[in-house]
Amino acid sequence: MEYQNFINSKRLTIYKSGFEVLENAVNPMLFDYQRDLVKWSLRVGKAALFTMTGTGKTLMQVEWAKHVQKQTRGKILIIAPLAVNYQTIREGKKIGVEITYAHNQGEATGDITITNYERLSGFDADAFAGVVLDESSILKSFTSATRDLIITMFARTPYKLSCTATPSPNDFMELGNQSEFLNVMTRTEMLAMFFVHDGGDTSKWRLKGHAESKFWEWVASWAAVLTKPSDLGYDDTRHILPPLEQVEHIVESDIKPEGSLFSVEAQTLQERQAARRDTIGLRAERVAEIVNATEGPFLIWCDLNNEAAALVKLIPGSAQVQGSDTPEQKEARMMAFADSTLRVLISKPSICGFGMNWQHCSQMAFIGLSDSFEAYFQAVRRCYRFGQKKPVTVHIVISDLEGAVLANIKRKESNATRMLAEIVEHTRRHVLENIRHQHYQSKDYNARMEMKLPIFLQEEA
């Protein structure tokens, strides 16, 4: 094999399995960037839309499903978090797409069906020509049973669309799982091709220095990353967020370690957990004081069942969504809040922190914080998203013992913002080229000199 052929054989090629649609075939109610992203994802066939909350992923996925159904004459399945199904059905009606909500395969009688991740085991993947993952960050955990079920179950599905807000910028495992779901490359293959182990910690991976540009070019071939329309040269006029105010409330606990005259900030995980348990009453009283002094919808985030129970007692007209509720109970309360028949909703980010569009609410509170920035980010974005008309106020109520947790969240937020901007910058050129057919001049490597090996590597004559 000649050297140039050898070089060509090493190039990454993504084989598109989709089809083309005309500009006027896409619903004109979609914004220009939404229409272009839909056309591109249909052309790719198996694609990911990593676009910020409020950029219209629901409309895009519904429009995508409509065209795949028309092209294949097969059935399409949309999988979404609890209660998001009703929002998706409503969005579909806006653009004339009928969507059926089903609990199992027997109820999947329409052309386009939506269900929840919790009910996925009751469906037959082979009955569908296309599948959409709404809030596909569920693939984040490479050890979860749900992740394995989804990837295995839909391995043979011809058309796939993965939709989520921009993925964790420093979580390459999530990108690997997304790629594996879309049949682009397995997570293991991705790691072997682009990454090295970071020191002795085999759970941490670092991009090979020479592979960085090629890695993001590869990602952009099957995923579109967008934090706002102007990232790809579109108009931001209708996508300007109102102000976001984060108000910190430090509750004095007066809890002192034995032999100490002063309260001491918790540092270890065990100390933070103990501090949080010991100050539930104090923090609940402060949150209730804030909520009861306001009018209008209010969203409260907690991490402990005892926190939620204390808040329900202190805040009239409030209700909680908890893990022990049935799916029907969870959906009913979440939709009651969305429809403004429930003023105050209390829940955990792990339960209600994904998928819901609650732009009608502009006030929320955290009764303490976990160390997860993703959980905090997603929870805030239920209200603070494109389409929000009012300034959003986020109250963070923690005890004087929990300062280390707040500092950790702020550090992660700063890092995530910086790294997300880097992802957009890395992928912008390639996404533009793929989506809007803008081409950039580039030159292939063409070896003009014969490669000579050092003497010590040459075989003896």
Rounded to the nearest integer, the mean pLDDT of the chain is 84
User: Which has more pLDDT, 131 or 266?
Assistant: 131
Q: Provide the phi-psi class of 259: left if phi over 0, else alpha when psi is between -120 and 50, else beta.
A: left
- Are 299 and 348 contacting, i.e. CB atoms less than 8 angstroms apart? no
What is the pTM assigned to this prediction?
0.80
| Strand order across the 392-399 sheet | 244-251, 392-399, 363-367, 298-301, 344-347, 318-321
Pick the CATH number of 10-238+418-435 from 3.40.50.300, 3.40.50.410, 3.40.190.10, 3.40.50.1860: 3.40.50.300
Tally of CB atoms within 10 A around 438: 12
Fold match between 10-238+418-435 and 244-401? Answer: yes
The reported pLDDT for the residue numbered 135 is: 84
pLDDT tens, 249-287?
Answer: 988 876 655 445 455 555 565 666 777 788 899 999 999
Delimit the domains of the chain by residue range.
10-238+418-435, 244-401
Under the banding of pLDDT at 50, 70 and 90, the label for residue 365 is: very high
For residues 108-128, one letter each, b for 16 or more C-beta atoms within 10 angstroms of the residue's C-beta and e for the rest, the string is beebbbbbbbeebeebebeeb
Pick the CATH number of 244-401 from 3.40.50.300, 3.30.930.10, 2.60.40.420, 3.40.50.970: 3.40.50.300
pLDDT tens, 65-114?
Answer: 999 999 999 999 999 988 788 889 999 999 999 999 999 999 999 999 99
The reported pLDDT for the residue numbered 423 is: 78
The reported pLDDT for the residue numbered 10 is: 47
Highest-confidence segment of 143-147, 290-294, 356-360: 290-294
pLDDT tens, 155-180?
Answer: 999 999 999 886 565 567 888 889 99
Under the banding of pLDDT at 50, 70 and 90, the label for residue 414 is: confident
Tally of CB atoms within 10 A around 455: 6
- Are 294 and 363 contacting, i.e. CB atoms less than 8 angstroms apart? yes
**pLDDT at residue 438 greater than cutoff 50:** no
- Are 188 and 157 contacting, i.e. CB atoms less than 8 angstroms apart? no
3-state class of 420 per DSSP? helix
Q: Which two tokens stand for residue 394?
A: 């986020």
**pLDDT at residue 290 greater than cutoff 90:** yes
